[in-house]
């Protein structure tokens, strides 16, 4: 299966971000708490290298609490400010204002010494597609100022949002990178919905996810779908199709529909809180 997806709007977006970086004090990098490393775009890391930095593990509600804590520690040990948030429900938002001020302390101090008072912090909100950048901005602003959607590629251009007299945020389109060195990374980004589903093979993706679940979260599939977990992931997928009455004409099992349903169950948290990668794999 090929995961590469780098449409023209991402090339344009990257250029726009490079052009705007000189205006920026702080890069707020959103990652998906279920895949905190695989959802980091090296281009964004490069872009932010001389800026104040903040990593937000968004969608923390969908990942395991204990793993979230381990990942926070992991990033903090590497010298980043890092916080977990749930942008959909607004969890963790209250502390964000002070975290932003803290991350920009040097800049605020520098301004003060030069006699510049009350210049707002300008922060670029960046990340791969569908991690929740626009939702985060809306949640922090307390109103819907940007368009959001449960698919990658919703935001197509830049948008400045003035939060208050202290902070201005730049919403940016999600960007991937031209080539994944590691296919495993591509697969994980496909699981979380950061790659356009149209280019994916849903049954193959579901089979891989089933394999992961059986290995790391045994018993969940049995409980959720009332099926027997077996080594053959495709047999499991057929069992899910049967238990969910996914049928084609002539009562043939519709495993494609079952695959889409299963992947959606994972993406929306209906299989429980699931983390797909662990800090010890990256030490
Ligand atoms: N469960 C959960 N869902 C979230 C969270 N944050 C965002 N979402 C959902 O994730 C989906 C994508 O959100 P967007 O804000 O459009 O993502 P984006 O990063 O702006 O995406 P692009 O503009 O396409 O790059 C939406 O369905 C949101 O409701 C979160 O913290 N938890
Ligand atoms: Mg967006």
Give me the CATH number covering residue 41.
3.40.50.300
Q: What CA–CA distance (Å, rounded) separates 260 from 254? A: 10
The whole-number pLDDT of residue 91 equals 86
**Do 124 and 225 have their domain in common?**
no
Here the tokens at position 55 are 């990593």
Task: Decide if 192 is inside a domain.
Answer: no
Nearest to 261 by CA among 203, 212, 186: 203
Closest residue CA from atom 16 of ligand 1: 148
Residue 115 Cα to ligand 1 middle (Å): 39
Q: Whose CA is nearest to atom 30 of ligand 1?
A: 59
State the maximum Cα–Cα separation within the chain, in Å, rounded to a whole number.
78
Instruction: Indicate whether 221 belongs to any domain.
Output: yes
Q: Is the CB of 92 under 6 A from ligand 1?
A: no
163/245 same-domain check: no
Q: Mutate which of 28, 30, 88, 93 to test ligand 1's pocket (most atoms within 8 Å of Cβ)?
A: 88
Which of 64, 61, 71, 130 lies closest to 274, judged by CA? 64
Same domain for 101 and 148? yes
> Do residues 129 and 235 share a domain?
no
- Does residue 189 fall inside a structural domain? no
> In terms of domains, do 167 and 217 share one?
no
Residue located via tokens 């992961």: 212
Tell me: do 264 and 152 sit in the same domain: no
pLDDT (tens, 9 = 90+) of the chain, 283 residues, equals 889 999 999 999 999 999 999 999 999 999 999 999 999 999 999 999 999 999 999 999 999 999 999 999 999 999 999 999 999 999 889 899 999 999 999 999 999 999 998 899 999 999 999 999 999 999 999 999 999 999 999 999 999 999 999 999 999 999 999 999 999 999 999 999 999 999 999 999 999 999 999 999 999 999 999 999 999 999 999 999 999 999 999 999 999 999 999 999 999 999 999 999 999 999 8
**Does 225 lie in the same domain as 151?**
no
Residues 124 and 46 in one domain: yes
Sign of CA dihedral 54, 57, 59, 65: negative
CA pair distance 192, 275, nearest whole angstrom: 11
Residue 179 lies in a domain: no
| Token digits of residue 253 | 């099992």
pLDDT at 117: 87
Domain match, 159 and 101 both: yes
**What is the residue range of 73's domain?**
8-171
Within-domain flag for 226: yes
Residues 165 and 269 in one domain: no
Q: Is residue 186 part of a domain?
A: no
Give 117 Cα–ligand 2 centroid separation in angstroms: 32
- Side by side, the strands of the sheet bearing 52-58 are 81-84, 52-58, 26-32, 121-126, 167-171, 159-162
Beta-carbon count within 10 A of 160 CB: 12
Number of folded domains in the chain?
2
The pTM for the full model equals 0.96
Instruction: Give strand ranges (E) for 85-127.
Output: 121-126
- CATH number for the domain spanning 240: value is 1.10.1580.10
Give the Å distance between the CA of 221 and the centre of ligand 1. 25
d(CA 241, CA 262): 9
CA-CA-CA-CA dihedral for 24, 47, 43, 283, to nearest 10: -100
Residue 49 lies in a domain: yes
Which residue, by CA, sits nearest to atom 10 of ligand 1? 132
Whether 190 is covered by a domain: the verdict is no
Say yes or no: 136 and 219 in one domain. Answer: no
**Residue 7 — left, alpha, or beta (φ > 0 → left; ψ -120 to 50 → alpha)?**
beta
Q: Which ranges constitute the DSSP H helices of 150-282?
A: 183-191, 202-216, 220-225, 233-243, 255-267
Q: Which domain-ending residue is among 152, 171, 190? A: 171
């Amino acid at each position: 299966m090929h995961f590469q997806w780098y449409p023209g709007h991402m090339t344009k977006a990257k250029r726009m971000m490079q052009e705007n970086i000189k205006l920026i004090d702080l890069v707020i990098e959103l990652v998906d708490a279920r895949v905190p490393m695989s959802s980091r775009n090296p281009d964004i890391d490069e872009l932010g290298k001389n800026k104040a930095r903040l990593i937000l593990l968004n969608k923390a509600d969908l990942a395991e609490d204990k793993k979230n804590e381990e990942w926070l520690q992991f990033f903090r040990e590497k010298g980043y400010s890092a916080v977990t948030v749930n942008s959909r429900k607004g969890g963790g938002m209250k502390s964000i204002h002070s975290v932003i001020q803290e991350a920009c302390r040097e800049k605020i101090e520098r301004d003060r010494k030069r006699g510049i008072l009350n210049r707002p912090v300008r922060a670029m909100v960046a990340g791969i597609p569908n991690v929740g950048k626009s939702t985060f901005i809306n949640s922090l602003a307390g109103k819907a100022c940007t368009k959001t959607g449960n698919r990658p590629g919703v935001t197509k251009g830049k948008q400045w949002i003035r939060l208050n007299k202290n902070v201005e945020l730049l919403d940016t389109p999600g960007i991937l990178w031209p080539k994944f060195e590691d296919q495993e990374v591509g697969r994980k980004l496909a699981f979380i919905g950061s790659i356009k589903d149209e280019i994916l093979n849903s049954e193959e993706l579901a089979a891989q996810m089933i394999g992961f679940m059986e290995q790391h979260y045994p018993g969940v599939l049995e409980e959720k779908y009332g099926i027997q977990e077996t080594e053959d992931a495709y047999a499991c997928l057929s069992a899910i199709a049967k238990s969910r009455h996914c049928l084609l004409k002539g009562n043939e099992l519709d495993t494609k529909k079952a695959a889409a349903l299963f992947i959606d169950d994972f993406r929306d948290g209906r299989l429980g809180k699931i983390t797909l990668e662990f800090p010890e794999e990256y030490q």
